[in-house]
Amino acid sequence: MRRNAFTVLAGFCLASLVAAAPARADAIEDFYKGKTLSMIVSSSTGGGYDTLARMLTKYVSRHLPGSPNIVIRNMPGAGGIVATNHLYSIAPKDGTVLGAVQNNTPFEPLFGTKEAQYDASKFFWLGSPSVETSILTIWHTSPVNNLEDARKIELKMGSSGANSTPSFYGRLLNETLGVKLKLIVGYPGQNDALLAMERGELDGYPSVFYNSLVATRPQWLPEKKVKLIVQYGAEKLPQLPDVPFVMDLLKTEEDRQLWRIAVGPIATGRPYLLPPGTPPERVAAMRKAFWDSFNDKEFLAEQARANLGADTPRTGEQIQDIIAQAYKSPPAVVERLKKLQQSQ
């Protein structure tokens, strides 16, 4: 009798689990079907982040159950911190609002940026279609031709805010390489600063992502409109064999350790997220939709035609781990980075 009762109960539980699986899938589809989602992009229109986000949304919609429409909302300010604060505290936490944020934003609280009112570990990171390499880039009319010149001649560098990514890396380059970069803040985004370079207002930009450069200004390199002074990131780009790599230029182990942590943001590429509190089943569905989109053959072909360099994807879990490891960095190194980040 006990065995028969157990068999009946086990069969009932198994049947319930089998029935629950499609029910959960159907629940995701039912939730998203007919909805319009918002993707908040933390930069201004026309830049690399914005270009990629607009391209990617149609593929995410295709791979997400229910195929909801996704519209872009640009929210530039403070190097992405304005949008990230909004996503943390104000945006709905039901899976209808996504974020495409600059890769400095997960690390701003670690560096002591007071404006960053969020806990990066509580976001649900969805992944990134690429990793990045940044370049100290100057306009062709500048008398500076190499790193040695940049140590002697002051360069006016555009930036969005004192604590933005370009400002931070500008100060870090000054600190470790002895170059003379004068930061001019107030440009809403990278695209605005690049336009200012064309107008002769600025000498350059301290943190141009290679993928963004070839996507948004494809003629600049072939026409020699800019000079690439030094590159930095997780590794040296094979496309730029003649541009010095920062790790090869550093003279002390302390500076090398500093840069290993500092390039953590670049290793996250162009990350996407959901606000904290989003239901876990919607997080799982969204992570799968992003991963499937990153590997979609049509997306890979389209991004290649646009020179976006979005072909080295990272999962949401990988991004989450990069962020977690950064927050375990040696306190002394973090303190040095904080001083650089908080400089005005």
- pLDDT, tens only, 184-219: 999 988 889 999 999 999 999 999 989 889 888 999
Contact indicator for 166, 207 with CB cutoff of 8 Å: yes
pLDDT for position 122: 97
pLDDT at 24: 60
Cβ distance 126 to 273 under 8 Å?
Answer: yes
Q: Once rounded to an integer, what is the mean pLDDT over residues 310-333?
A: 90
For the cut 90, the answer to whether the pLDDT of residue 341 exceeds it is: no
pLDDT cut 90: percent of the chain above it = 68
Rg (CA), the chain: 22
Dihedral sign for Cα atoms in the order 160, 153, 342, 48: positive
The answer to which of 64-73, 198-207, 258-267 has the lowest mean pLDDT is 258-267
**What is the pLDDT at residue 48?**
83
DSSP, collapsed to helix, strand or coil, labels residue 20 as helix
Instruction: Note the pLDDT of residue 64.
Output: 98
Query: Which residue, 69, 311, 43, is CA-closest to 189?
Result: 43
Question: In Å, how far from its chain's centre is CA 184?
Answer: 23
Answer yes or no: is pLDDT of 6 > 80.
Answer: no
Q: Which of 59, 104, 64, 69 is nearest to 83 (CA)?
A: 104
pLDDT of residue 342: 65
Give the C-alpha separation, 125 to 318, whole Å: 9
pLDDT at 153 over 70: yes
Average pLDDT, integer, range 12-30: 61
pLDDT surpassing 60 at residue 2: no
Domains and CATH numbers, the chain: 10-131+268-341 (3.40.190.150), 133-265 (3.40.190.10)
Instruction: Determine the pLDDT at residue 215.
Output: 81
At 58, the amino acid letter reads K
Pick the closest to residue 118 from 323, 259, 317, 316 (CA basis). Answer: 323
Q: How high is the pLDDT of residue 280?
A: 97
**Of 325, 71, 295, 47, nearest in space to 188 by CA:** 47
Query: Residue 93, exposed/middle/buried by CB under 10 A (0-12, 13-18, 19+)?
Result: middle
Q: What stretches of the chain show up as alpha helix (H) in DSSP?
A: 2-32, 48-63, 81-89, 147-150, 165-177, 190-199, 210-216, 253-262, 264-267, 280-294, 297-305, 316-326, 331-341
What's the pLDDT band for 112 if we cut at 50, 70, 90? confident
Q: Judge whether residue 253 has pLDDT over 90.
A: no
Q: Which residue has the higher pLDDT, 214 or 294?
A: 294
d(C-alpha 188, C-alpha 217), whole Å = 18
Q: Are 129 and 313 in contact (CB under 8 A)?
A: yes
- Give the residue carrying structure tokens 């990131």: 233
What's the pLDDT at 343?
Answer: 60
Residue 20 has pLDDT above 80, yes or no: no
- How far does the chain reach from its first CA to its final CA, in angstroms? 78
- Beta strands 97-100; 204-209: pairing state: unpaired
Average predicted confidence (pLDDT) for the chain: 90
Residue 5 clears pLDDT 80, i.e. is over it? no
Q: Among positive and negative, which fits the CA dihedral 44, 47, 49, 52?
A: positive
Token pair 């229910």 in the structure block, residue: 66
Q: What is the predicted pLDDT for the residue at 111?
A: 81
